[in-house]
Amino acid sequence: MTPDRHSARPLPAFSRMLRLTRPSREDAIAFVILGGLAAIFFRTAEATVAPLSTLQLEPLTLDPSYLPYYALRTVLRMFVALFASTVFTLVVATLAARSRHLGQLIVPALDILQSVPILGFLTFTVTFFMGLFPGSVLGVECASIFAILTSQAWNMAFSFYQSLRAIPSDLEEATVIYRLSPIRRFLKLDLPFATPALVWNAMMSMSGGWFFVVASEAITVGKTTVTLPGIGSWLALAIGRRDFLAVGEAVAAMALVIVAYDQLFFRPIVAWADRFRFEMTASAERPRSWVFDLLRRTRLLPVVLAPLGAIGRLLLAFEPRVGRRKAIGPARSYPLLEKVWQALVIVAATAALVLLSRYIMRSLMWGDVLTAVLLAGLTMIRVMVLIALASLVWVPVGVWIGLRPVWAERLQPLAQFLAAFPANVLFPFAVMAIVRFDLAPDVWLSPLMILGTQWYILFNVIAGASAIPTDLREAAWMFRVRGWQWWRQVALPGIFPYYVTGALTASGGSWNASIVAEAVDWGNRHLVARGLGSFIAEATTAGDYPRVALGIGVMSLFVLGFNRLLWRPLYAYADRRLRLS
């Protein structure tokens, strides 16, 4: 029996899907692109299963002719991580949304993991994966991929969960009335509804992943350092050797790679996912992508989408038979089981807390905790000052751009690109400047934290300013509202909800970036700014796990506290008072 026994529509014949016609120029282009991608994929996959010794046989070189290959290895790693994150998201977030009990555990966990500094996971997992595939590059690859995954998965899962919770109740009721099985419901309602938000978050996650590529490709196990071929390792080596040119080449390669996967991968997906946007009115502006148009024109789109359909049909093969409709009586509840479950959760949480604190306290004193908290205070001051400074600069600029549609259209993608660009590759230049002019690292390393995250403020403010209704702007102009009054009564209230979103993202990102920004190397020069970030970074280098755990714990608490006490109230205020609808 074939797996698609139950499916309503069998897979059409391959030739019909292709609708073979005379080949056109577009066909040729599409064929070359797809063929090239396939070749690259297999060539790279071959290298990942090689024995570990090959890494020593072929050490990393800073030869530019190798750079494209390294870039591909890195990109492949990131896409594998993205794929794994997507699978994780679909399973875990769906469980959390469907089961109240699991949701109770998963949702807070995701919320916390979202704000935990990702770098901290690396040290704990490398040993595990090395043991899983002894003597093979695959083990190290897995550790590296897992590290990237930890920077992508949580916010994707959280967004998916939130989408599932936001599904309109009438559609949910329709799936019950028309007796869709859970699997079918997932395929017909949950997945399509959540897709647009998931794609957007996957793009954000991809940018986040870049940030830690440098850290995840050069892995230290005990006394030996394994260097995986990749753009991150190249960069690490270039920094170690103070090779200015090589750093520049890596930056250029990254820029090219980011543009390439944005154009070839994400844009087409965004254009495709637009059909799943939940709206009942046709919107004027649709996201466009030349690759998507190309695929559609060459009728390759069904071929590209066929695997997705096949997976769906495979899932439907496991669909249970339709049950008979039962008479509905009063809701049954099991108060005793409910209490047992609650008790179990509390016991497990207490046990975990005790274990963790004993692990940390075995080698640490209360004084260490105090130190970590004080250092966190320093980092917090940095984050707050930097967000304030960045706001002072980017709010006026963003408003100026946002009110001019022509400029907004041109600069919005640029701001998004800058947000996606891993700012840590630019750190060496800052270090050189600090060394040259003999500046205080405590102050001058700080701006690095916001180098990559300030763009979130900019593009959110641009979006906010362009969303201020024309009639409001015209009314303000008619009544001669100018200068400070205009900012106070028109522009600032108009952009505030958007600004809060941007500043929240920027602040979270800056906390995370502090781990790489507060301790920076350039050759043998090692610059440190006192703060929680450098505390974690140095504990990681020293392999001092209890300190790493302590630092991560304290940082998570601070980020959570920041979100709860500052950003959420601001968000609620914006939502209540300043929503333009």
- Residue ranges in contact with other proteins by CB under 8 A: 6-10, 168, 170-171, 173-174, 176-181, 184, 188-189, 192, 275-282, 321-322, 324-331, 577
- CB of 33 or CB of 183, closer to other proteins: 183
What contacts 172, CB < 8 A, 6 or more positions away?
189
Q: How far is the CB of 16 from other proteins (least distance, A)?
A: 16
Q: How far is the CB of 18 from other proteins (least distance, A)?
A: 21
From first CA to last CA, the distance across the chain in angstroms is 55
Q: Which two tokens stand for residue 54?
A: 């090959």
Q: How far is the CB of 576 from other proteins (least distance, A)?
A: 9
- CB of 103 or CB of 523, closer to other proteins: 103
CA distance 138 to 52: 8
DSSP characters for 209-253?
HHHHHHHHHEEEETTEEEE-SSHHHHHHHHHHTT-HHHHHHHHHH
Q: How far is the CB of 391 from other proteins (least distance, A)?
A: 23
Q: Which residue is associated with the tokens 């991150």?
A: 232
CA distance 450 to 390: 8
Three-state secondary structure readout of 534-548? HHHHHHHHHCCHHHH
Q: How far is the CB of 292 from other proteins (least distance, A)?
A: 16
The maximal CA–CA distance of the chain, rounded, in angstroms, is 81
- CB of 59 or CB of 329, closer to other proteins: 329
Q: How far is the CB of 275 from other proteins (least distance, A)?
A: 6
Q: How far is the CB of 168 from other proteins (least distance, A)?
A: 7
Q: Which two tokens stand for residue 150?
A: 């930890």
CA distance 135 to 133: 6
- CB of 147 or CB of 574, closer to other proteins: 574
- CB of 187 or CB of 419, closer to other proteins: 187
Written as one letter, the residue type at 287 is: P
CA distance 292 to 297: 9
Decide the pairing of beta strands 519-522 and 218-221.
unpaired
- CB of 282 or CB of 440, closer to other proteins: 282
Q: How far is the CB of 333 from other proteins (least distance, A)?
A: 10
- CB of 46 or CB of 170, closer to other proteins: 170
- CB of 41 or CB of 573, closer to other proteins: 573
Secondary structure of residue 83 in the 3-state scheme: helix
CA–centroid distance for 463 within its chain: 20
